[in-house]
Structure 1
Amino acid sequence: MRIVTDSQAVPQVGQIVRILRGRDAGQYAIVIKVVDERFVLIADGNKRKFDSPKKKNVKHLELYQHVATVVQESIEETGRVTNGKLRFALNKFKETLDDEEKGE
């Protein structure tokens, strides 16, 4: 999985991120809303539910090129996404990361 390292990169809804700063550092989440060029709302479906997302500075996130299309389509169609879909998308992403580390 490629990491977007460009500081000018704009996050998009459904994009997978890794949290670099704060209490949740090292954990993965999904962008559910772009507030402005500096801030996004993220959720993971477990600790951070869709109804109570965390507002994070983009500088404190590591952006991956992977976009969870299930999440993106759900938010575009209904304006919401279930916490189950968030968990499913993150688990699927983590599996691909594990496979890449093993060299598969």
Structure 2
Amino acid sequence: MRFSRQRNGVGCGDQSNAGDRFVLGQIVQVLRGTCAGEYAIIIRKDNSRTLWLVNKDRFTIDHPKQKNVKHVQPTNWIAEDILEILQKNGRLTDAMLRYALNQYLLQRKGE
């Protein structure tokens, strides 16, 4: 699994349009709700305030969680393989997303 850090300008700065801080394939930490403290991947953005998230356990590709951008914290990491698939055809599997999250958590634990 390939990860990249966000480029300058993305994910920081102007708070007037908070949705611009988030990109598809980005790993975020949930701050509010029943999944608080867990990590998830962004698979869709509806507008500047709404994200659709998938995590390892509860929220799958078929039933992603809709979250307000105020309730998640962006990380600086983007799952490049997931981003490429989302940009090409959007056909992801739950196994791909679980693998990406597990790899991110292993990397984070090693730091």
**TM norm structure 2:** 0.81
Q: Unpaired segments of 5 or more residues in structure 1? A: none
* Aligned equivalent of 2:57: 46
* Aligned equivalent of 1:78: 89
Secondary structure class of the residue paired with 2:44: strand
Secondary structure class of the residue paired with 2:27: strand
2:69 aligned to which of 58, 67, 70: 58
CA RMSD of aligned residues (A): 1.8
Structure 1 residues 45-88: Cα deviation after superposition (integer angstroms, max 9, x where no partner)? 43110111011011110101100011111111212211011001
Structure 1 residues 9-48: Cα deviation after superposition (integer angstroms, max 9, x where no partner)? 5211000000000010000000000111111100024311
Q: Given residue 25 of structure 2, which amino acid in structure 1 is its aligned partner?
A: G
How far apart are the structure 2 equivalents of 1:80 and 1:47?
A: 19
Q: Given residue 81 of structure 1, which amino acid in structure 2 is its aligned partner?
A: L
| Closer, same or farther: CA 79–69 of 1 in aligned 2, 3 Å | same
CA contact (8 A) 2:56 2:98 kept: yes
State the 4+ residue runs in structure 1 displaced beyond 4 angstroms: none
Aligned residues: 99
* Aligned equivalent of 2:39: 28
CA contact (8 A) 2:28 2:41 kept: yes
